Structures are given as C-alpha cells and as structure tokens.
Structure 1
C-alpha cells in the first residue's frame, strides 16, 4: 500500500495517495505515517495541517524511521519547542542531516538552547554548507567575518571528525537494514521541499553587507524568532599570526588556464587551513599546479586538507 501510494503521488493523485497511506498507517506502517506527515505538511491531498504532520512524524520517528525523526525535530523546533526538539536534531545531525546541522550551528553560535560554542558552530555550518544548503553557505560567510581564525581552524578540524562519525553512523544503519533489523525502508513522496529555516545575521556595525532581501511570507504555523548572534568581544577580531615555514604542501588543483587557478585561490585563500600559507604555482607540461605551502609536517598538512575537504574543497597532501 505504501508503494502504491507513492505511485499515485507521482501521478499527482495526492488524494489517492493519502487514502493508501491512511490504510497502511492504521496498521502501524512507519513509512505510511511518515508520508502522511509529508502530505499534511505540504497540504497535498489533504488540507495543510502542521499539527497532524507533527503527529504522524512523531509516530514514525518513535518507531525508528530516520527521515521522520529528522522532520519531527525540525517541526518541533519551528513550533517553539526547542528543548524537546534538540535530541531529535542531534541524532539527525550525527547522521549528517543538513537542516539539523544548520539549526544546531546557529544555536551554538548564539548560545541559544545550548552553550555558546563557536568552534562547534563553525564545524556544523561548514558541513551543512558542503551539502549544498543555501542558507548554510550564506551563514558560513557571515561566520567567516566574525569568528576568529584560530577558532575557525579548530572548527574545520572538528568538521572532518564529525563527517567521519556520520559515515560510520550511516554504515551501521545500512548494515542493520541488511541484517533485517527494524529499520523501515523509506518511501518518500515527491515535492517534499523543506520549510524555510531561520537565517543568521549580525549587527551592521560588525559586518558591512548589502541590504537583506525581503523576508518571505510567514507561515500559518508559529515559529521561533530568528536567532541573532550577539556581537563578539572586540578583542577576538584579531586573528593569530600563522607561521608558514615548513616544507609540506597541499595541492589544490591543476589548471590549463591561469585565470582559473587565480579564481580558486581568491576563493579559498582565507579559509582556515590555508590562511597565512603562501601560494605556490608549479608549471607542469601544459598546466599549472596550484599549491599552498609552509606546513610544518605531514600531520599539519593532512589536518588542513581534511578540513578543506569537509568544506567541499578538493586537495592533496604533497611530500617535501
């Protein structure tokens, strides 16, 4: 019934899909409950009703449905029950769910609902941005102007650790499913785009930026106020000096057009792991290899490269 409901949904027979899922959900099928939650959240096949969406997400989540748990945590957060949402969001973030990492990154940046932790905030936002979440990309750019370089470098290193843990968690989940553990397959209706998430902002006195775009229409359901980070202490604005004197290097790419190498270097040179390290261009045949130098040892170079990869930037450690 769940699969036939998905087929009906894809034919845009939303009411027919809902009827199929209601029958399966009455028998306790977690996939059907999750899909009903999506239908009520989107208002397709049924009137939009966030209370019912939350109800069905919660039922499926408590049966171990991972996507239902992700949505349940986000719905709870957006309805103002942040403390109740945190355990679900943490579990989702541990698996690498971008929206959960984004929300927790803002919370850690502001010190809202959790202790203020700019290192963890930067790590979570880096991973969310690397997944392609647009809000995370713009928030990470804002954090780059506020969080001191030393803490950003620590955040990049932590992002690599979190990504490895997320990969392990996903492997365990897949293995459990293969062994027949109670981990229901996901049958997801189409057009299940996430609701708008809050954006990060800082006072104009801290960051010079273009005027923000008009705010989107407010949804009918209640949402928490947009979190606003407090201005950092003035003393934290001066980043530490990086002494790039070692012989180890990181290769960022090979380019037949020098302009492409220039464009990449301009985009990444201020990133933690690269800031303060000299650019090195090495002609090789018909291409130019773009490197960053000055790493004191293999561990330093690998740590910086792991952080760049966590932020979606390819690199390769080069021995001296």
Structure 2
C-alpha cells in the first residue's frame, strides 16, 4: 500500500467535523464556521482553546489542518489536537494520529491510530490493518489485520475492500475465518458501548521500517467530501432534536439490501453493526419508540462480510444527519452520519 494512497483514504474520511458543546462562545464559532466566516470562528475559539477548553482546542486543530481562518499549518494543528487529546477528546486523538501519519511520523502516530481503530475509525483500521499485515512498525498479525480491514470495508471504505481481496490471496482460510469472527466480536462490543481492549504490543519509535508498497494493490483515489462540517461532539448528551423532515412513509419492516443496492445519493445515519440481523431489527423497534421523528425515515439493513449494519434515511444534508444522530445518541445508541 503506497503512502500516497493511504493519504487519499485519510483525506476521504470525516476529518472535517467540529465539536459544538453547550458553551455559548464555542457554539458561536461553529455557527460562524458553518456560514463560511472562518475568521470569526477562529476568533471565538482562540481564547477558549488557550484557556484549556478541549472542544475549542479540537476546533482550532481543524482550522489549522484545513487552512480556514488561519494559514494552514499541520504542526500547529497537531499541537492543538494533542492538547485536546490529553484531556480525553477522542476525536482529537483520532485526527492527531491520522495527521501525524500523513506528516511522516508513522511510528509516533501508531499508538493513536491503534486507539482510533479500537473505537471504530475506518481510516485508522485501514492503516493499522495494513501495518499488521506487513509486519511494519508493529508485530505481524494476520488475524487481527484481516479483522480490522474487514471492519473498515464494512464501513464503506472502498480501499479497504480492495485490500481485503488482496489479503485473501495470502492469508490462509483458517486465519481469515478467525479474522471474520474477531471482526464480529469488535462490532458487537462497539454496539454495547464498550471499547475493545487496547493492543499491548510495543511500538518501535527508532528507525522504523516503511510500509511496503508491493504487498497490497493500488486503489482508486477517494473523493474529498465537499461538506466542511460533520456531526458535532457535545460534552454532554444533547436534548432530543426536533422531528426531522419525513422522507418516506413508515415501513412495516426494515428494508434489507446489499451494499450494491443501497441508495447512491443523499445522507443516512448508521446506528450500529451486529453479528445477527435480528438484533438490528430489535434496536430499530426500540429506537423508533424513543427518538422523536426517527420512525418517519426508512430503515436499511445491510449485510456484508458477516456483519449487519443498521442505517436510516435518506436525509437531505449532513446537518440533518448530525441532528438526527444527536437525538439517537441521547437515547443511548451509537450513531454516525454517512454520505451515500
């Protein structure tokens, strides 16, 4: 896997989200950002970030990463991400690892990427899975590599699907079966809200070997999303959002489809991943009664690689998806906006 293609995968992810807690000034900055007034947003966040607010620090990292409202400066972005991550800001840690890797500090990035992969970040799963397949920067572990790449592929990361097919040519069937079982276990733990245990293996920070470029095949460059803002990360559980616009009539049962049959436009929210379809249906029934407006959307049940994912939609925009996810998270479930 070449560094250029790994960076393409990173650029295609949801790295553009901003944290919007209840703190008024931080929220004012997010509102200004969404309106395209990046300079005002930075002005709102700067003093709060310097005072130690982790959401403002994360947002400052985003501004310096993207070069909006300030001159693009990866080193300064990394510094802000690191400050927020030290306070337990998981999205800052995810972005910290990805940006450090992109800037060439692959050994230093790996611990953060491992944590991000454990939390279910597809780009981190893709990178860590590649490293573990090759045995670069960390011990070779084909079972775990296959599991992480399976999880990244199931999330819709096209490069991971391509790499998974290439892995099939090298990894024995029994290890692939173990990897699929591990991927199901990871998905189950993610839905239960418990983090998968962190990897304990040591990571070399001295003279690391580069990721080999011949082990995995080329993949199509991913498109960079145009939307600058993804789902917010509030400090506390938000109040249920107002009822979203009804897109379709309430169905009698969730629609089951394969990834190739999925709606190709608009937005959806992904509510979870399961080892059994029945669990997806049960969760949909429970949430439909708890989350105001959710029953007005079409549920989708998609099965690939032995993992069943529950989605709802379609939604008109990333902002609508973020609002719906906020209400779903307030009801105690996982949720992630997805551009289809």
The TM-score normalised by the length of structure 1 is: 0.55
Q: Deviations over 1:68-107 (max 9, x none)?
A: 0111111222223333222222221111111111111001
CA distance in 1, matches of 2:222, 2:152: 22
**Partner of residue 306 from structure 2, selected from 299, 304, 309:** 309
For residues 107-118 of structure 1, what are the structure 2 equivalents within 5 Å?
Answer: 107-118=131-142
CA distance in 2, matches of 1:111, 1:2: 42
**Partner of residue 40 from structure 1, selected from 64, 67, 70:** 64
Q: Partner of 2:332 in structure 1?
A: none
**Partner of residue 80 from structure 1, selected from 80, 90, 104:** 104
Quick one: structure 1 residues 170 and 212, their matched pair in 2 at CA, closer, same or farther if it must change by over 3 Å?
closer
CA distance in 2, matches of 1:97, 1:214: 19
For residues 142-291 of structure 1, what are the structure 2 equivalents within 5 Å?
Answer: 142-169=166-193, 202=214
**Partner of residue 50 from structure 1, selected from 74, 82, 87:** 74
1:202: how far off? 3.8
Q: Partner of 1:191 in structure 2?
A: none
**Partner of residue 105 from structure 1, selected from 113, 129, 143:** 129
CA distance in 2, matches of 1:111, 1:156: 20
Quick one: structure 1 residues 112 and 28, their matched pair in 2 at CA, closer, same or farther if it must change by over 3 Å?
same
Quick one: structure 1 residues 43 and 84, their matched pair in 2 at CA, closer, same or farther if it must change by over 3 Å?
same
In structure 1, runs of 5+ residues without a counterpart are 173-197, 217-253, 265-305, 314-320
**Partner of residue 164 from structure 2, selected from 116, 137, 140:** 140
Task: Tell whether the 8 Å contact from 1:101 to 1:124 is kept in structure 2 after alignment.
Answer: yes
1:312: how far off? 5.8
CA distance in 2, matches of 1:17, 1:65: 20
Q: Deviations over 1:265-299 (max 9, x none)?
A: xxxxxxxxxxxxxxxxxxxxxxxxxxxxxxxxxxx
1:164: how far off? 2.2
1:160: how far off? 1.1
Quick one: structure 1 residues 155 and 215, their matched pair in 2 at CA, closer, same or farther if it must change by over 3 Å?
closer
Equivalences, count: 203
CA distance in 2, matches of 1:31, 1:122: 34
Q: Partner of 2:27 in structure 1?
A: 3
The TM-score normalised by the length of structure 2 is: 0.52
Task: Tell whether the 8 Å contact from 1:157 to 1:307 is kept in structure 2 after alignment.
Answer: no
CA distance in 2, matches of 1:162, 1:212: 25
- What is the root-mean-square deviation of aligned Cα atoms in Å? 3.8
Quick one: structure 1 residues 311 and 120, their matched pair in 2 at CA, closer, same or farther if it must change by over 3 Å?
farther
Q: Partner of 1:122 in structure 2?
A: 146
1:162: how far off? 1.7
Task: Tell whether the 8 Å contact from 1:159 to 1:307 is kept in structure 2 after alignment.
Answer: no
Please give the secondary structure, in 2, of the residue aligned with 1:80: coil
CA distance in 2, matches of 1:69, 1:54: 10
Task: Tell whether the 8 Å contact from 1:139 to 1:201 is kept in structure 2 after alignment.
Answer: no
Task: Tell whether the 8 Å contact from 2:154 to 2:305 is kept in structure 1 after alignment.
Answer: no
Task: Tell whether the 8 Å contact from 2:136 to 2:211 is kept in structure 1 after alignment.
Answer: no
In structure 2, runs of 5+ residues without a counterpart are 1-24, 197-209, 224-254, 262-302, 311-340
Task: Tell whether the 8 Å contact from 1:156 to 1:307 is kept in structure 2 after alignment.
Answer: no
Task: Tell whether the 8 Å contact from 1:57 to 1:72 is kept in structure 2 after alignment.
Answer: yes
CA distance in 2, matches of 1:154, 1:136: 18
Q: Partner of 1:69 in structure 2?
A: 93
Please give the secondary structure, in 2, of the residue aligned with 1:47: coil
